[in-house]
Structure 1
């Protein structure tokens, strides 16, 4: 993680240096401020859309995982835009704009589903599959064995 942060700082410095060389110090500061204002306006607008979509999903009683993830990604994008630098502004804009946010949402939801399965398996304990039937091990001695819906006494 420390290496990733160091690479990020180096990329930010290189981007600011390159832009500063091209447009000058005042132009660089102007671009950074304009990016912060534009990004915060976009984040507020897209965050409000995500909140309205979440409220509509909650009212209709359907799962709101897409809307919640959109809200989280817009919030993260807003934070990235408020961090000074061009690399963070670009990453923040990618998370705020709907087409690229959809890609990030699909990736995030896929990742969370894998982690949820892994966590559930770790909490459940060792599992052994027998004839397409899942048997959880170990079981308590007082717990009856269930085979194909019938209880078999020990």
Structure 2
């Protein structure tokens, strides 16, 4: 129910903008702008998926921090979706999100409000996983398998 109000307001704004800008540009040019931004958005979405996979692979190999590329690519993907959806407000917001200074500003604003908790290093003693074992160093010249007078090691006597 909380989303109904904002969605209704955005829909009414889109309709009002379509009537206003459409009356100013004309029907043909308005449809051309809407279809052109939809094509741009779908091309961006396809290209962004490939770039995100490459950037994340590089970040996971220790070349960089994976959070920054994920945030950048996420905002570009949101921009692409806004460009695909019909409407002048969504197109304007999508085009604004394609500008790197706007994306950096949004990421820094969200970064100030969100705390990222990194998982602690794996500590076997804290989690109670302790493996108690004995080992026997085998002579490399002795062939594998049971030997007379020697236990196999796989059974308990």
**TM-score clears 0.5:** yes
TM-score under structure 1 length normalisation: 0.63
The structure where strand makes up a greater share of residues is 1
Q: Secondary structure at the match of 1:60?
A: coil
TM-score under structure 2 length normalisation: 0.62
Asked if structure 2 preserves the Cα contact closer than 8 Å seen for 1:77 and 1:95, the reply is: yes
Counterpart selection for 1:87 from 73, 86, 89: 89
CA deviation vs aligned residue, 1:22-75 (integer Å, no higher than 9, x gap): 121111111100111123334444554444332221111643111111222122
Whole-Å Cα distance in 2 between the matches of residues 93 and 43 of structure 1? Answer: 13
Runs of 4+ aligned residues of structure 1 deviating over 3 Å after TM superposition are: 42-51
1:25 — aligned with what?
27
RMSD: 2.2
What is the count of residue pairs matched by the alignment?
115
Asked if structure 2 preserves the Cα contact closer than 8 Å seen for 1:51 and 1:67, the reply is: no
Whole-Å Cα distance in 2 between the matches of residues 29 and 5 of structure 1? Answer: 23
Change (3 A) 1:45 1:97: farther
Larger Rg: 2
